[in-house]
Amino acid sequence: MKPSIKILLVEDNPYDAELLREMLLGVSTVQFEWVHVTLLGDALKRLREDTFDAILLDLSLPDSLGQETLAKAYAQAHDTPIVVLTGHSDEAMAIRTVHQGAQDYLVKGQVDGPTLVRAIRYAIERHRLITELDRGRQEQLRIKDQFLSHVSHELRSPLAVIHQFVTILLDRLGGDLSPEQNEYLEIILRNVNQLRKMIEDLLEVTRAETGKLTLHPQLTPLDELIVEVLGTLRIAAAGKRIALSEEVSGDLPLAYADPNRVRQILMNLIDNAIKFTPEGGSITVRADLSPEDPHFIQVAVADSGCGISEEDSQKIFESMYQAKDSASLSRKGLGLGLFICKELVSRHGGQIWVKSQKDRGSTFFFTLPIFSLSQQLGPILHSRNLQLGSIALITVEVFSPSKRALTKSDEGILWEVGSILKHCTLIDKDFLLPRMAPTKWKEFFFIIAFAQKQGAEILQQRIREQFSRYEKLEEAGLEAAISSRIFEISAKGEGLGGESFIKDLTRSVKDRIRKAFQEEAT
């Protein structure tokens, strides 16, 4: 019995489609099942409903053209090999299509039956081998992840005990210490902390390789994070008489980033700078809008250290790589910190790089996206909404009536609160702002709604009803206060929804949000 191959042909030219069909029917060694569609939309529908062994895809279709056609098809059917068909011989395009996920690139009019069949069979076999290799790699990563998780757990427990007892001794709870004993205990504590950092770095790399490196982006004030991290590392810098300073633009916008991950990036870069800067040196952290792209903030960590050679600069962000001169340093790590920084920055959509000269210091740069309220509001700033004449800013404050500080144990509940608020909004009329970096006592959520006073009251009531059913909020000892403020849309006719109007609107909303945080701070 001849082997059977099921083909989806996506081709709008009936002559080409018939010619391809005749080529395949003329092959005696394989039996082909044939489904022919002329539109990409129809192809995507068939791919959702059925499975195919291969796809023959024309890139020029009535409803889609060029590389976009392949991108959409691959996104829908990345488990099915795709052979691209085109009427033009273009080597550069052929390379791009293969890089984009296609298994082969054939020029119509330059292919016969045996060549077409061979291309289909090779595409299927290559795809099968790639799938098997990927499956094997995923299994290796799973085993590695499991092993490292087990080892880290086994190492963390005794390290925690050592850390606890060393701390007890340093606090003089076990009796007085001589200066020499105190120094020995400080060395033990420093090395315990270094081991804990190595274990966490190993786990972070494994998370990155297995796709488990998570981000929770929110509106993040980078100026506050920079000051906080510098404060944390100031003692370590003082031990080498290194001066720490920051230069942050006064009107720096909020970043849309995970504050914990940004803190991790800064800690790694500044700690590295301290490590490689000689006694009496200096480290400066700068932050301003990126000169290359105004939608990003550029952060720079500059030191007066030993610098990095050009060769090392090209490889320093690779996993496990260490600069040659680092071997002579007393604090030698695993060479994972900068790799983790690169992974975290990339997942934010930013870039990281270094500029350095040997013996003249280094500057590490990275970029993070800013949060643009005007861009976010754009899709709902259409005439139908603007004709309502007003916009409501709904403020939801989550806090503990007992005035206790919010803790990590509250984090899961706060994310669920955000999901509840998202569920309460209308897609084409409301916008839930990303989470803000919380104050010590409260978490703020803001909804921008195109509504008059009555509509805002209805939305608030809907939120209250949802919260009344969410028992975890009360169980955690938290409450939610909901309020609103109405902004009248004074602009009429020409210019409504224009750039100046959007700027005025976003400025008003930002001022109200800033005021909410200032009131909490006082």
What value does the mean pLDDT take over residues 368-381? 72
Return d(Cα 371, Cα 297) in angstroms, integer.
10
What value does the mean pLDDT take over residues 453-462? 88
Higher-confidence position of 329 and 473: 473
Q: What is the pLDDT of residue 265?
A: 94
- 238-269 pLDDT per residue, tens: 989 999 999 998 888 889 898 889 999 999 99
Q: What is the pTM of this model?
A: 0.59
pLDDT at 438 over 80: no
- The tokens describing 234, both together, are 């100031």
Do 20 and 116 form a contact (C-beta atoms < 8 A)?
yes
pLDDT at 516 over 50: yes
Closest Cα partner for 224 from 262, 194, 198? 262
Q: What is the pLDDT of residue 382?
A: 56
What value does the mean pLDDT take over residues 134-162? 77
pLDDT at 503 over 70: no
Q: What is the pLDDT of residue 245?
A: 94
Q: What is the pLDDT of residue 522?
A: 55
What value does the mean pLDDT take over residues 463-468? 91
Higher-confidence position of 276 and 487: 276
Higher-confidence position of 175 and 245: 245
Do 32 and 63 form a contact (C-beta atoms < 8 A)?
no
Q: What is the pLDDT of residue 24?
A: 80
Query: Which residues lie below 8 Å from residue 494, measured CB to CB, with a gap of 6+?
Result: none
Q: What is the pLDDT of residue 287?
A: 95
Q: What is the pLDDT of residue 270?
A: 94
Q: Within its chain, how far is the Cα of 336 from the centroid?
A: 19
Q: Which residue is associated with the tokens 């395009």?
A: 93
Query: Which residues lie below 8 Å from residue 340, measured CB to CB, with a gap of 6+?
Result: 201, 204, 205, 208, 264, 268
- 71-106 pLDDT per residue, tens: 888 888 888 889 888 877 777 777 888 888 888 888
Q: What is the pLDDT of residue 262?
A: 94
376 — pLDDT class (breaks 50, 70, 90): low
Return d(Cα 44, Cα 28) in angstroms, integer.
30
Q: What is the pLDDT of residue 301?
A: 96
pLDDT at 404 over 60: yes
177 — pLDDT class (breaks 50, 70, 90): confident
Q: What is the pLDDT of residue 112?
A: 80
The CA-atom distances, in angstroms, between 391 and each of 201, 396, 422, 451 are 47, 16, 18, 5
pLDDT at 283 over 90: yes
Q: Label each residue of 306-372 as H, E or C.
A: CCCCHHHHHHCCCCCCCCHHHHHCCCCCCCCHHHHHHHHHHHCCCCEEEEECCCCCEEEEEEEEECC
Closest Cα partner for 299 from 308, 307, 290? 290
Provide the edge-to-edge strand list for the sheet that holds 282-289.
Answer: 243-248, 282-289, 296-303, 362-369, 352-356
Burial class (CB in 10 A: 0-12, 13-18, 19+), 327: exposed
pLDDT at 235 over 50: yes
Do 368 and 297 form a contact (C-beta atoms < 8 A)?
yes
- 310-340 pLDDT per residue, tens: 777 878 888 766 666 554 444 455 568 888 8
- The tokens describing 381, both together, are 């700033």
DSSP secondary-structure letter at 2?
A: -
- The tokens describing 28, both together, are 């005696």
pLDDT at 514 over 70: no
What are 201-207's contacts with CB under 8 Å, separation 24+? 201/333, 201/334, 201/336, 201/337, 201/340, 202/148, 202/152, 202/334, 202/336, 203/148, 203/149, 203/152, 204/336, 204/340, 204/343, 205/319, 205/336, 205/339, 205/340, 206/141, 206/144, 206/145, 206/148, 207/145
Q: What is the pLDDT of residue 517?
A: 61
- The tokens describing 105, both together, are 């690139």
SS3 content of the chain, % helix, strand, coil (to 5): 50, 20, 30
- 184-227 pLDDT per residue, tens: 888 888 888 878 877 777 777 777 776 777 888 888 889 989 99
Q: What is the pLDDT of residue 78?
A: 82
Return d(Cα 200, Cα 270) in angstroms, integer.
18
- For the chain, give the mean pLDDT: 82
Do 391 and 504 form a contact (C-beta atoms < 8 A)?
no
Query: Which residues lie below 8 Å from residue 72, measured CB to CB, with a gap of 6+?
Result: 40, 44, 64
Higher-confidence position of 101 and 385: 101
Do 388 and 426 form a contact (C-beta atoms < 8 A)?
no
Q: What is the pLDDT of residue 493?
A: 38
350 — pLDDT class (breaks 50, 70, 90): very high
Return d(Cα 444, Cα 460) in angstroms, integer.
15
Q: What is the pLDDT of residue 286?
A: 96
Q: What is the pLDDT of residue 337?
A: 83
pLDDT at 489 over 60: yes
Do 265 and 304 form a contact (C-beta atoms < 8 A)?
no
Q: Label each residue of 357-418 as H, E or C.
A: CCCCCEEEEEEEEECCHHHHHHHHCCHHHHCCCEEEEEEEEEECCCCCCCCHHHHHHHHHHH
Q: What is the pLDDT of residue 327?
A: 42
Helix (H) or strand (E) holding 133: helix 113-170
Q: What is the pLDDT of residue 171?
A: 85
Strand, coil or helix: what is 172? Answer: coil
Q: What is the pLDDT of residue 363?
A: 94
Taking residue 26's Cβ as centre, other Cβ atoms within 10 Å add up to 12
